[in-house]
Amino acid sequence: MSSTTSSSQAPLPDRLNQLKIQDSDENEIDRPSGTSTPGAEVGIVLGRSTYPKGMNPKLRYIKPYWWPYKTHVKQRWIGRQILEVITTEFRDRSMEYYRHALESGVTRVNGVTARPDLVLRDGDRIDNTVHRHEPPITNDPILVLHIDRKKEFVVISKPGSAPVHATGRYFRHSVLEMMESDYGIKCYSVNRLDRLTSGLMILALSGKAASRLATEFAQGKVEKEYVARVKGIFPEEEITVDQPLLTVDRQMGLVIITPEGKEAVTIFKRISYDAERDQSVVRCRPQTGRTHQIRVHLQYLGHPIANDPLYSTTEVWGQDLGKGGVDLTPAAAGTSRMAALQARVGSAAPIKKTVDRDHDDIDLTSPILLSEQARSIISKLRRQKDEAEDWIKWKEVIFTAKQAQDELEGSQTQSQPTSTASTDPSDGEIQSSDPHAPSPLKAPAYLPPGFCGECFVPLPDDPDPETLFIYLHALRYTTPDLGTWETPLPRWAGENWDGDWRGWCDGAVMKDVLKEDKESQRQGQQEKGTLD
């Protein structure tokens, strides 16, 4: 999208129309969570990924809602300006967006309005209200495989694209929330799967059961088996990778192989090879439970997961796709995390320099000195994410609208949205939401089509459902206490895959566990009533 070059004296609607924003007929559809529009039945199927916004039958949507919560300052934030913390920690939107949001006065620290240059101190409490626009996820339901009310656990198959817990922009589109909203089952997590990973999970029905089962996972007593679709011809012989892993960038969740990392061991065995796509289906047995373990170990072998957006793009990793790991020689320009922290902590004076979204916090967030290659990879991943989020729309539409309104009113206005410190709700003290709360923001003089009518931010296009998950599926767990549980083989793991990623191999049909559970509970209540 090109920059705006029209005169500041042009009428406001005309100036904004020159920005080539979305057509006005592509408005967001108000649709309850967990529902989709049967586009095929009403004749709107125009081809792949061409459904009108909010109408893709492969996606699950939820109406945006206001959400107030509070969180306390973390140790790594102490001594840093709030704008810098928000920009580098959360990266949900651009630095310019957060600056204007803070200047609108909707964020408070210890009950006092927080401005962009406020320096955070130990013990500070941040209060914030956001209009949550949860991204859509795939419309695949959570499959309930087994419910044991006596032992207080549930076995499910999680769809790819849904996180287990509330995190980042996701809250109601999380497994624990959907289990309660869709099935009326209050669950507690025992183990985690990456948001992009599908497959078997064991959930507890009480906090006590969760603690007991989580101990088994933590102690390595649970045998796990996954299946993945990877690039290239994977070797036929069984291969064991024992390379240690370390997370070096929190914002992107990037994990690399380095001696400073934690012990990690994975055993791989090829199941089949797809010559048409030049991809292999591989059985994966992790012997440890590290973050991104299977994904990084497969990349190390030169066979990353075929559609992995983090570890499988040549634009970021080069033609060898990270085979053999990254260079570990520290960059000459790099500084240690301790030095980076010391440069920021203890100064009450505002930090004048502008945050560099590519490089400013790379050394700060990494626990080790990084090589030039590692720093370059992190920068490329961040830019790739920014491009996918369409930052140019924020700069050239939202803030042009704000500037134009300020000119018309002759003074600073509060036309920006309330999304500032978008902290992970699992880290903060979440307050109850009020979906009917009126907008605390003043509406702009002109709201272009394609923008939210509550918080006045541009509404993103629907994602392609096939980019919301990766070809990695938790297939089987064996526990000392609960026995062995497994899902059918996902359709994309079949030897003669037809390209449709939904469903199971050989058309496997699962029994209605929820119906059986309701009937069992009904009979139990009748027997109890008879005894009483």
Residues annotated catalytic, as ranges: 194
Backbone angles phi, psi at 387, to 5 degrees: -65, -40
Using left for φ > 0, alpha for ψ between -120 and 50, and beta otherwise, residue 168 falls in left
CB crowding 215-231: b at 16 or more within 10 Å, else e? ebbeeeebebbbbbbbb
How far is the C-alpha of 385 from the C-alpha of 259, rounded, in Å?
Answer: 28
Ranges of H-type helices in 257-398: 293-300, 314-317, 337-342, 362-365, 372-389, 391-393
Measured at the CA of 33, the angle between CA 31 and CA 39, to 5 degrees, comes to: 50
Query: Residues 6 or more apart from 222 whose CB is under 8 A from it?
Result: 191, 216, 477, 478, 479
- Can you tell me which residue has the tokens 């204007």? 100
- Can you tell me which residue has the tokens 């803030």? 399
Task: Using CB atoms within 10 Å of the CB of residue 108, give its burial: 0 to 12 exposed, 13 to 18 middle, 19+ buried.
Answer: middle
- Can you tell me which residue has the tokens 């009428």? 11
| Whether the Cβ atoms of residue 58 and residue 355 lie closer than 8 Å to each other | no
Query: Residues 6 or more apart from 199 whose CB is under 8 A from it?
Result: 157, 158, 193, 226, 472, 473, 474, 475, 487, 490
Measured at the CA of 180, the angle between CA 464 and CA 90, to 5 degrees, comes to: 50
Cα–Cα distances in angstroms (integers) from residue 209 to residues 143, 212, 476, in the given order: 21, 5, 20
How far is the C-alpha of 279 from the C-alpha of 495, rounded, in Å?
Answer: 11
Token readout for 165 is 């817990």
Q: DSSP readout, 196-240?
A: T-EEEEEEESSHHHHHHHHHHHHTT--EEEEEEEEES---SS-EE
| Whether the Cβ atoms of residue 498 and residue 490 lie closer than 8 Å to each other | no
Say whether 175 sits in a helix, a strand or coil: helix
Say whether 115 sits in a helix, a strand or coil: coil
How far is the C-alpha of 402 from the C-alpha of 395, rounded, in Å?
Answer: 10
How far is the C-alpha of 156 from the C-alpha of 203, rounded, in Å?
Answer: 8
Smallest CA-to-CA distance from 244 within 367, 393, 70, 96 is with: 367
How far is the C-alpha of 144 from the C-alpha of 201, rounded, in Å?
Answer: 10
| Whether the Cβ atoms of residue 465 and residue 188 lie closer than 8 Å to each other | no
